Structure 1
């Protein structure tokens, strides 16, 4: 039994922020050179995508709950 419900928006957010951390770690370790402005689209894009996924998840769950209640 799950202790909490699955939230895919948070999974997407975690993935993008982990990716940003890996990019910065590679830059700090000297593996590559990353300009600071590269992170803005990565983080903002990840947050926007996570918001869209969260909204879609809410719509799907409301629709599923509505159909389960009448059946």
Structure 2
């Protein structure tokens, strides 16, 4: 099985829908007496929270990816500078030698 990144927004959405389903199941079993619309406002609020968490997670991952790319670009620039310096040194040694 392939590994995948943790998605906290999906976890929250799943728990919220599970809780709403549990409330409806309790009502159907006669354990709770709820009006049919009672679980809807918490369901909508929970799904909005899940969307917000997903957006924040996405933003954090993009920021981390940009930082990593900048670090790789700096590393390539340092590597290129070192390579050019070595080439110049070898040319000087050949000219002197």
Quick check: TM above 0.5? Answer: yes
Q: Which runs of 5+ in 1 are unaligned?
A: none
* d(CA) in 2 for partners of 1:40, 1:29: 19
1:11 aligns with 11
* d(CA) in 1 for partners of 2:51, 2:44: 11
Q: CA deviation at 1:45?
A: 0.8
Cα root mean square deviation, aligned: 1.5
Q: CA deviation at 1:58?
A: 0.7
Q: Secondary structure at the match of 2:3?
A: coil
How many residues of Structure 1 are paired with residues of Structure 2 in the alignment?
Answer: 71
| Greater relative contact order structure (CA < 8 Å, 6+ sep) | 1
Q: Which runs of 5+ in 2 are unaligned?
A: 72-97
- Kindly report structure 1 stretches of 4+ aligned residues shifted beyond 6 Å: none
Q: Larger Rg: 1 or 2?
A: 2
